[in-house]
Structures are given as C-alpha cells and as structure tokens.
Structure 1
C-alpha cells in the first residue's frame, strides 16, 4: 500500500522528471486549444467545392532527458491527473463521468487492429510473470537502457485526460514517444507510433508539436518496417500529422511520397487506405500533385479502387479526384485502367460512391484518351441510367459527363440516342438542378444538330 507521504514524494519526483512547475503555481489564464479537423471531415468536403468536373526540440539530441527514470503506472496516472486538474480549474469544470466515457470511446476505435495491439502490449507488459529471477533481472537491466519502455508498454493510454492538457505539458510525453521510435525493440516502436497516432488524431496543436519535436523524421523509417502493425501505426500517424497545413511540406521534404507509395503497395488494408488518404492530403499543395503522379502513385491507387474495401474505394476515389486535376495525372489514370472500375461504380446503388465516380469520370473526360476509354468501357449506357435513376446531384454529374462525350462526336450522340437517352434528358431539363437543366438543354440541342454539322471521325 502506498502511503500519503510516498505519494507526495512520487509527485515531486514526477515534477522533477517532467521539468514542470507545481500545480499550485500554474497560471490561471484561459488555455486556447485548436482541435483542427479530422480526415473524415476533409474527405467529405472535397467534392462539395468543385462540381465542374510550442517550442522546437532538436530531434538529433538523442534520448530525452524526460525518460531518464522509469515511470510506474501510478506515478504517470498521478501526473496526468494533476495536469488535467490544473488545466480544468482554469478553463472549465471537471468533466462528468459520461464525458469521459464519450472521450474514451472516441479513441477506442483508432485502428481495426487495436485489440490485437492491446493484447500484444499486455503480453509484453506481463511476459515475465512466472519466469525465473534471472530473466526478471535481465529485463530490469534492459529497462535501464530503455527508460521509455515501461511507459510505452502500458496498455491503457489516458488519452481522455491528455485531451485536456496543453501541448507544453504534453511535450515530455511526445519526447518519450519519439525516443521510442528509435528503440531497437519493434514492440516499443509499435507502441510509440500508436501513441503518436492518437495524440495527432484530433488536435491541430498536437500535430504541430509532434512535427516540431522531430516526429516526422522519426516516423519515416517505420513506413518500410517489416512488421505490418508498426507500419500501419506509422502511416496513420503521418496522415494525422499531414492534416496540419504547415506539416505538409515538411512531410514531403522528408521523402514521404515514395515511402507512402510503398505502403500503398505492401501494407495491410488499413495501411493502404491511410496511405492513399495521406497522399491526397499532400496533394492539396499543387506542386505535390505531379510529384506524386511521377513517383508512380496512380497505379496502386487504381488497384485499391478495384480490390479495396468500401472505405478503401472511397479513399482511392478521393485521391484520384485530387490528383487528376493535373492533366498528366489524367493520362496516367487512364493508362492505369481507372476508367473501367469508375464506370462500374456509376451504376452501383447504396454504396455512396456513384456520384464521386462520376466526378472523376468527368475529370478524365476532359482529355481525348479519357473520352475514348469511357465510351469503350460502356460509359454512355451507365451514364444514361444515372440520368434516369440517380439522385439530383448524380443526375447533374452524369449529364455534365455526357455533354463532354457527345459535344464533338456524332458517333457518341448516336450511341446516346440508341441507349434511350432522350426521354431522361428531357425530364431532367424540366425538373433538375439549375445547372443540370442547363446542361441537359445544351446536350439536347447537340442531338438535334444535323449529322454533317460535326466531324464523324471524332470519337
């Protein structure tokens, strides 16, 4: 049993380790916290905007001074509790139990393999149980050389408490995790990457702190790690870090593009999805779009579109949409076989991907190679069906693409008429969105043009 005096000693010891002031001397000023935006929010807004188609820490300094002593569970919990209490007194009342449960739940689904990772960490933390004293002594000696090991092997990471702590107070924790990424132990690396992944999940200020502390460079080697779960945590941590705008070029300049493409080819299903999303995030900087395409990202993104899970296909669609705003990437996407799976998605119901597929098809229809491929893969019948049966927004995207295919091609107009395209176009011209009505009227006007009015040699 731990006495009150021992608790006070442990508290002072942790304050010394972390290099922080006592809670009694904390400032009462209100703490501003930027939660940033999640990847899900960014994904959901990409298609809505375009319907036409802390202190710096030297990472080379070696092991952090904050990891110079072993931290027991009780000491770390005590420290986190004190920090949370100190912050909450100056900002808001203590969270009620339901709030903690909600916050805990929001972090519990951080990975499809979270239960596997937790089980692995539990086995690591307790693997000396029942072993002889010599092995126990060896483990204790190892921990002396690996000061962050005890903390990183903890199964329960108090993320709900850390949510209420300022980045300045989280700096020691971040440093311990970054030190862990350089450990010779793959289990420690995996746990460190998982914890950085969580710290960067929701808070923009944490993303900046981790990058400034050297987290990006420390995570980079793990993208090519042979352990799939470590690779998964590392790529997801980099995805979360990339959501902070100032980190995008830092990640790019660290050589992340080729490594993310490697994950896209070799990783678990979740790793591939998050690698695609990370490339999409980096492609928000225009200069990166061509670099990503030139490095060979588009073929594995198309493979994810063909064989990925529902979420994987959505991530692939979003990434293709962003990359294909550059003409060279449109050509690369057509050459990689993107048109066939896109046409197939146009007529799939209930998956929420038909509209996104039509947006990408509309982008590819801007080049001749794209128009030829769409017609050859049966795009006109699928788009006519979408004009007839899709949502209002889907009808709009479909008629925009049909207009691109038929404006300069008599052959494609004849195919559109044979597929029964006139009745749904007439209906759309009377009851669609404003933009859809205009495009439908324009397309019907082209269909009424005499045959000699356009070159029949144009596909």
Structure 2
C-alpha cells in the first residue's frame, strides 16, 4: 500500500526528472492542504469487459469500459466508437513469420555440422534432396509447388525422428525455413506429422535446436489449422520452458508462438496455468525492444481472463508496465497503458499499479498533449478504473495535479476521452463535496 507521504516522495523524485510545470504548479498549490481520510463512498458499478476479440490479426478492445459513473455522466461506449488498437500492436513481430532475422543464415547453412564422413545417412539424403529442390535461394522456395515440397517435408520429419542430434537440429532448421514462406507450405508441414516431432526439441539442451524448434512452431502457428495441432501435441508447456530457458531469440519466438495459440480462447487458461506469465514479465524487464513488444502483446491477450490478470499482478507486471509508460519514444508506452487498463479491472491490479507510482505517470501521459491523443485516452481510461471505487486514489490523483489536464482533456479530447475525463472529474467533485460535509 502507498501512503500519501510515499506519493509525495515519488513526486519529489519525479520533479528532478522533468515533471511538467502544470503538474508542479498544481502540486505546489495543493501540498500544504491536509487531506483527511474521506468517508466511505458507495461503490460504483464499474468494470471492464474481458470479452476480447478472437480476430487472427487485429487486436481490438470490444469494450474499453462499461459502467455507471455519477448520475450526471454515464460512460457508455457504443460499438461503433470502439478504439481499434490493432495499429498499437501491429508492429509486434508475431505476425511476421520467422522474425528472428536469420533467414539468410538458414538459407546458407552448412550442409552438415558433422564431418561429412561421419554424417548420418538421413542427413546426407536430406541435404541432397534439399539441394536439388531448393538450393540456397529463398526465391526458389517462393516459386516451388507444394507437390515438389512433399519429399522435402518427409525428409525433414524423418530427420526429426533420428537419434542424431545433428540430424534433428538440421531438420528443425529446414522446417523453420520452409514454414516461413507460404501458407500452403505450413499446411503441408502441419499435416505431415512434423509438429509432434518438433515439440521434444523445445526441451533440448542444444540451444540451436531449441531455437529452431521454437521458431518453426511459431511459423507453423500462423496457419489456423496448425494452432489446434500444436496445442494437441502438448506444445504449450514445452514452449513455456523455451520461454524461460532459451536464447534471446528462442524466448521471443516462444512468446509469439504462445500468442498465436492464445487466439483460441480455451488455450488462454492453459497457457497461464503452465507458467507462461512470469517469464513474459521477465521479458518485459530484460528483453530487447522487440521482446518487450512481443511480451506486451501476449500479456494483452492472455489477460482477457481474470485468473491470468491475477497471475500477471502476482508476477510483478505492474512495475515494468508503469516504467514503460514513463519512457515515451520506445514504441511501448501506449501498449503498456492498454495492459495497465486491463490489470486495473481487478482490485489486486489497482493496488499494484498505485504502489508502482502509476497514478503519477498516467497523469503525465494525459499532459502529453494532442500529439499523443490515443495515449491520453488509454491513460484516462486506466485512471478512471483506478479511482472509480477508491476515495484514497482520488486524493492521490488530485495531489498529482490531475485536475488541470483532465479539464483540458474534457474540452479538447476525442469523444471517448472527453466522456472519461468528465466522468473522472465528476468523481473528484463528489469526493470534494463529501469531504466538505
């Protein structure tokens, strides 16, 4: 729990990192007034729909918020007004198959990593077949017929079943390459029995084999029919293992594969129960820019269920998400605000966000101005959830200088932003009246 004194300390620290003058002035005008404990208010019926879309590519919020505020303002969101956040997540790499950027390395990979004289027969036969059908050019792959690929895929499946580590590694790398290019190739590979053979490699002690298996499954999961096959092959828990233990690329690609599997609603609970959320939070903290975006997108989808929201809060997701909101320019601030809004739908999430200093950074996101209109809307939505049923959080909101930017947003924001800002200002007026009694 954060006390008002703690909040004052956080504000002082933030001031030295470039707080806006509007917030500073508001703080100076308010910090001398003692804020007593307000009387309990009737709880507001305010909730966030967990009904997120199952679209294969677009990510939309079916509802940002549904509920009743003060009697004078009712935040009703019409379906035609829903914010399409697919643009916010479209640059996440899960939709660009084989995103590790290693196509060229795979296309020119040595014919065998073992000495030619000791190479297993299945590798020699496989390489000869690949060389005759594919060569090293991705252009040949683009123009090849599905029929011409059938022997290659069979050879890959046989290589995955070999006792040789080299054969398995090579076969997984070739499937990874084949599955990158075309939907019909992914369908062919999915129907060939390759998926169950790839799953054990996710636990391989060979980092290259594990990485290729994770990336191959990511690429294959882009085909709708393969999602069910991958889940049915028991890949979810091994993908979580790769997410925890793999190379940086393996972790990121495992996260993307889990994201694609989470498009099937019944998989979301399983993915959460298998322990995916703590390593996703770790990726938020220590991943590359791409890894952070992938983790954000996956958490966004998984947290459509309440239990996964609770898991995300328990795993410490609030603090890194708040940190991302305070780091504009990295391409993650608005995405982080969306996920914070999802976590703020549960009491544990609201408490964790406030403890992490979320009210302060969300207020400053609203102050960012019209150039960040979409982010302002996400920020006011999260603040509305944080303060709807909490007089204490409303006090913190006032002390952080939120009233001037909220007034400005209620006058010049988008229709949805205006409505949310007006509702939040209504809560604050109600709070002031109760304290005056």
Q: Shift in Å at residue 143 of structure 1?
A: 3.2
- C-alpha separation in 1, matches of 2:340 and 2:225: 32
Q: Shift in Å at residue 326 of structure 1?
A: 0.1
Q: Is the 8 Å Cα contact of residues 153 and 188 (structure 1) preserved in structure 2?
A: no
- C-alpha separation in 2, matches of 1:415 and 1:144: 67
Q: Is the 8 Å Cα contact of residues 149 and 180 (structure 1) preserved in structure 2?
A: no
Which residue pairs with 1:333 in the alignment?
A: 312
- C-alpha separation in 1, matches of 2:413 and 2:355: 28
Of residues 53, 64, 81, the one that matches 1:52 is 64
Of residues 178, 181, 202, the one that matches 1:223 is 202
Which fold has the larger relative contact order, with Cα–Cα distance below 8 Å and residues 6 or more apart in sequence?
2
Of residues 323, 337, 356, the one that matches 1:344 is 323
Which residue pairs with 1:183 in the alignment?
A: 162
Which residue pairs with 1:439 in the alignment?
A: 420
Q: Helix, strand or coil for the counterpart of 2:140?
A: helix
- C-alpha separation in 2, matches of 1:292 and 1:311: 21
Aligned length: 348
TM-score (norm: length of structure 2): 0.74
Q: Shift in Å at residue 121 of structure 1?
A: 1.6
For structure 1, list consecutive stretches of 5 or more residues without a partner in the other structure. 1-41, 54-106, 129-135, 455-459
Q: Shift in Å at residue 109 of structure 1?
A: 8.2
Q: Shift in Å at residue 448 of structure 1?
A: 0.7
**1:251-298 deviations in Å (ceiling 9; x for gaps):** 111110110010011100010001111111111111111111111111
**1:347-380 deviations in Å (ceiling 9; x for gaps):** 1111110111011100010000011111111000
- C-alpha separation in 1, matches of 2:321 and 2:388: 21
Which residue pairs with 2:375 in the alignment?
A: 394
Q: Shift in Å at residue 158 of structure 1?
A: 3.2
For structure 2, list consecutive stretches of 5 or more residues without a partner in the other structure. 1-54, 66-95
Q: Helix, strand or coil for the counterpart of 1:372?
A: helix
- C-alpha separation in 2, matches of 1:248 and 1:144: 29
Say if 1:199 and 1:123 are closer, same or farther in 2 by CA, change over 3 A: closer
Q: Is the 8 Å Cα contact of residues 283 and 289 (structure 1) preserved in structure 2?
A: yes
Of residues 268, 280, 283, the one that matches 2:262 is 283
- C-alpha separation in 1, matches of 2:111 and 2:413: 58
Q: Shift in Å at residue 150 of structure 1?
A: 3.6
Indicate the RMSD between aligned Cα atoms, in angstroms: 2.7
TM-score (norm: length of structure 1): 0.70
Q: Shift in Å at residue 224 of structure 1?
A: 1.1
Q: Shift in Å at residue 114 of structure 1?
A: 5.7
Structure showing greater radius of gyration is 1
Say if 1:144 and 1:205 are closer, same or farther in 2 by CA, change over 3 A: closer
- C-alpha separation in 1, matches of 2:298 and 2:337: 14
